[in-house]
Amino acid sequence: MPAKLSVNLNAIAMLRNRRDLPWPSVTGLGQIALEAGASGLTVHPRPDQRHIRFSDLAPIRSLIDDLYPQTEFNMEGFPNDEFLDLVERHQPEQVTLVPDDPAQATSDHGWDFRLNHNLLGNVVGRLKKNGFRVSLFADGDPDVEALTIAKETGADRIELYTGPYGGCYDDPERGEILLEALGQTADIARTLGLEVNAGHDLTVANLPALAARIPHLAEVSIGHGLTADALEYGMAETVRRFCRACGQDI
């Protein structure tokens, strides 16, 4: 089963926020993406609302509920009270917990599961009790003990942080090494009963090798590289290109 594509709207929101104007429309581009074949929309409402604003969340939820009920809403964020309140209010199908400090420029590492097993156990338990699918951001590090702790939190999935792999666009040898670490991490996760998502700096160029190495990859969430391509090919054609890069027959 090819990986599903969830389009991250952060970069669209960042462009919109340059002016006090409603375009480019986050929901408008999201609708084009879903119409073109994306399986869902992803947002990361950071505390400073640098791109996705809390006011964006209800319109995205409504877009999916009203027009594309077979698709999913994925909300990413650090599990502070503010984020968890947003999750409760907007009821995404998936919650992806990331260990981001508010000052971080972007998500640049996965969880330290040993250090955070109490925090994650409590938060995941609360989210699972309320019916959410929970994914935990994880480095490409085949650490059986750490991944076992991730499983023991009650999470459904890990999301492989693919930033270093994406950054190797000009260093194929290092890319191969990082890809294998991601693949071994995914293999261990599967053995433990965790499903596997992936995201960060994925592109049409680097996605096919990831999908081939991780045939059980459930979902990729992609924003920066996809938005860059959308400036060149348009959103609809870009979504189709990324779906094909996932191995989908679209």
Ligand X SMILES: CC(=O)[C@@H](O)[C@H](O)COP(=O)(O)O
Q: List residues binding ligand X (CB under 6 A).
A: 8, 10, 44, 46, 76, 98, 106-107, 137, 199-200, 221, 223
**76 catalytic per annotation:** yes
Candidate residues 202, 210, 243, 246; the one interacting with ligand LD2JLWAY per rule CB under 6 A = 202
Query: How many angstroms separate the Cα of 71 from the Cα of each of 36, 37, 94, 146?
Result: 12, 10, 11, 31
Q: How far is the CB of 46 from ligand LD2JLWAY (least distance, A)?
A: 12
**195 catalytic per annotation:** no
With a CB cutoff of 8 Å and minimum separation 6, the contacts of 21 are none
Candidate residues 27, 42, 135, 238; the one interacting with ligand LD2JLWAY per rule CB under 6 A = 42
Q: Do 6 and 242 touch, CB atoms closer than 8 A?
A: no
The position carrying tokens 């109490």 is 118
Catalytic residue (one of 76, 159, 195, 219): 76
Q: How far is the CB of 92 from ligand X (least distance, A)?
A: 13
Alpha-helical (H) ranges within 167-245 are: 172-192, 207-213, 224-233, 235-245
Q: Rounded distance, CA 239 to CA 215, Å?
A: 20
Q: Do 92 and 132 touch, CB atoms closer than 8 A?
A: yes
Q: Which does 140 bind (CB under 5 to 8 A by kind): ligand LD2JLWAY, ligand X, none?
A: none
Candidate residues 201, 206, 235, 240; the one interacting with ligand LD2JLWAY per rule CB under 6 A = 201
Q: Rounded distance, CA 56 to CA 45, Å?
A: 9
Q: Which does 202 bind (CB under 5 to 8 A by kind): ligand X, ligand LD2JLWAY, none?
A: ligand LD2JLWAY
**145 catalytic per annotation:** no
What is the number of the residue whose Cβ is closest to ligand LD2JLWAY? 199
Counting Cβ atoms within 10 Å, is residue 40 exposed (0-12), middle (13-18) or buried (19+)? buried
Only segment of 64-72, 168-176, 184-192, 218-226 that touches ligand LD2JLWAY (CB under 6 A): 218-226
Q: Rounded distance, CA 73 to CA 34, Å?
A: 11
**Residues 44-83, mask of contacts with ligand LD2JLWAY (x by CB under 6 A):** --------------------------------x-------
Q: How far is the CB of 119 from ligand LD2JLWAY (least distance, A)?
A: 20
Contacts 24+ apart (CB under 8 A), 11-14: 11/51, 11/223, 11/224, 11/227, 11/228, 12/227, 13/43, 13/51, 13/52, 13/53, 13/56, 14/50, 14/51
Nearer to ligand LD2JLWAY, 56 or 129 (CB): 56
Report the catalytic residues. Answer: 44, 76, 200
Residues that bind ligand LD2JLWAY (CB under 6 A): 8, 42, 76, 159, 199-202, 221-225
